[in-house]
């Protein structure tokens, strides 16, 4: 007599009696992947139903999943949006034509600790926020304001240089207590940005220098007293007809699913004289530097463009026009505001 499982359950109406389950927590995100396969005995499951239960509150979080097995009885389910650093257990059962089998439960796994973005400040402001009650760690990126581009001289056909980008400081894993005040200052163009925790300044990012005529503006510097912090100097403004300097990319933490990179302080491009045929403007540095002006009336490119706000970009230098002796000049681009970006764990 055949011993296999029969659809409809008329003969040997066996349900899946065991499930092999392996649960692996991500190291870079608050999620876990459950691999499910046929156990060492009993018939194969067609589907598996699996749930995640908080070992702290006993709540089933998030919703239960039902996944279809492949021809060998194997499949997987990924649970996202688990709470950072919280323990979970996973329970599953297999189902075939005869119904659901017995539950199988894993041991406890702990979701990875992941920072979440809390506040973003990209305009010139002085304010405070309160550390949320759940938080034990803080990360932040602090960027100074960018310097303005320089003026051009229509008499001598000297173009304006680009302004310097704002400096930046980034840190993570600063121990914090819920309810404590965090002070935020976001610098305007050329201005200094700071972050203060519990009355102590933890990071300072100085603004980039404005260009003075054809003299380039240098990038701002930065500092932090948080252990392991990283700092970078803003990009230097571009000289006559030269591209602005690039800025180092800083991140306050590095987790692949929430890795937020904010460039800071690209230098502004230098202004350029139109020679009758070259209509290309000089570029600002990456991370927010404004383009330099080109002295060409029909193109409207006299003016340098502003640096990006929130990134401390340097302004582009003004262009001039000596072709046909128009002696025309544009206006330099303004420096961009700094920025402060805060995350909690």
Q: Cβ-count burial of 63 within 10 angstroms (0-12 exposed, 13-18 middle, 19+ buried)?
A: exposed
pLDDT for 68: 93
pLDDT score recorded for residue 26: 80
CA distance 331 to 302: 7
The rounded distance, in Å, linking the Cα atoms of 38 and 100 is: 14
Distance CA 72, CA 243 (A): 60
Determine contact, residues 265/313, Cβ cutoff 8 Å.
Answer: yes
Q: Tens digit of pLDDT for each residue in 238-261?
A: 887 777 777 766 655 443 333 334
- Domain boundaries defined on the chain: 19-110, 115-345
Question: For residue 23, how far is the Cα from the chain centroid?
Answer: 29
Q: What's residue 8's pLDDT?
A: 44
Provide the whole-model pTM. 0.74
Closest by CA position to 266, among listed 291, 242, 308, 235: 235
Q: Taking the chain, what is the end-to-end CA distance rounded to the nearest angstrom?
A: 61
Q: Which pLDDT belongs to residue 92?
A: 92
Mode of pairing for the β-strands spanning 168-175 and 230-232: antiparallel
Torsion, CA 36, CA 42, CA 46, CA 51, rounded to 10: -40
Please give the Cα distance from 318 to 110 (Å, whole number): 57
**pLDDT for position 258:** 39
Q: What's the confidence (pLDDT) of residue 174?
A: 94
**Confidence (pLDDT) at 113:** 79
Q: How far is CA 296 from CA 103, 132, 205, 329, 341, in A?
A: 76, 54, 36, 9, 39
Q: Residue 102 has what pLDDT? A: 86
Residue labelled with tokens 């709470």: 83
Share of the chain above pLDDT 70, in %: 74
pLDDT at 330: 73
Helix (DSSP H) and strand (DSSP E) numbers for the chain:
0, 23
The predicted structure's pLDDT at residue 255 = 34
- The token pair at 298 is 């029909």
CATH no. of 19-110: 2.60.40.10
Q: Which residues in the chain come in under a pLDDT of 50?
A: 1-12, 253-262, 298-300
Contact call for residues 48 and 76 (beta carbons, < 8 A):
no
Structure tokens at 11: 């003969």
Residues in the chain: 345
What pLDDT score does 259 carry? 38
- pLDDT tens figures, 108-122: 888 887 888 888 999
Residue 214 DSSP symbol: T
């Amino acid at each position: 007599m055949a011993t296999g499982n029969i659809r409809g359950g008329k003969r040997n109406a066996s349900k899946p009696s065991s499930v092999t389950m392996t649960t692996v927590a991500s190291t870079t995100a608050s999620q876990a992947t459950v691999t499910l396969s046929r156990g060492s005995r009993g018939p194969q499951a067609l589907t598996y139903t699996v749930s995640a239960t908080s070992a702290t509150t006993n709540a089933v979080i998030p919703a239960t999943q039902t996944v279809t097995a492949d021809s060998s009885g194997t499949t997987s389910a990924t649970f996202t949006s688990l709470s950072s650093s919280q323990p979970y257990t996973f329970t599953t059962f297999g189902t075939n034509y005869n119904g659901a089998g017995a539950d199988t439960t894993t041991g406890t796994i702990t979701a990875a600790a992941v920072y979440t973005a809390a506040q973003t400040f990209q305009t010139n402001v002085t304010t405070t926020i309160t550390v949320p009650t759940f938080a034990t760690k803080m990360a932040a990126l602090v960027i100074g304001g960018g310097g303005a581009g320089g003026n051009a001289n229509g008499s001598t056909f000297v173009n304006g240089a680009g302004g310097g980008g704002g400096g930046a400081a980034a840190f993570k894993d600063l121990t914090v207590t819920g309810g404590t005040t965090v002070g935020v200052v976001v610098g305007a163009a050329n201005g200094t940005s700071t972050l203060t925790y519990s009355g102590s300044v933890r990071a300072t990012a100085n603004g980039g220098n404005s260009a003075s005529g054809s003299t380039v503006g240098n990038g701002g510097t930065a500092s932090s007293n948080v252990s392991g912090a990283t700092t970078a100097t803003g990009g230097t403004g571009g000289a006559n007809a030269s591209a602005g300097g690039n800025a180092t990319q800083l991140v306050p933490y590095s987790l692949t699913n929430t890795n937020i990179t904010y460039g800071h302080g690209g230098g502004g491009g230098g202004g350029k004289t139109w020679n009758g045929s070259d209509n290309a403007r000089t570029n600002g540095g990456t991370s927010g530097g404004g383009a330099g002006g080109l002295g060409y009336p029909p193109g409207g490119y006299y003016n340098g463009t502003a640096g990006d706000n929130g990134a401390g970009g340097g302004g582009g230098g003004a262009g001039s026009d000596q072709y046909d002796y128009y002696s025309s000049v544009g206006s330099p681009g303004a420096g961009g505001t700094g920025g402060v970006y805060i995350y909690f764990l």
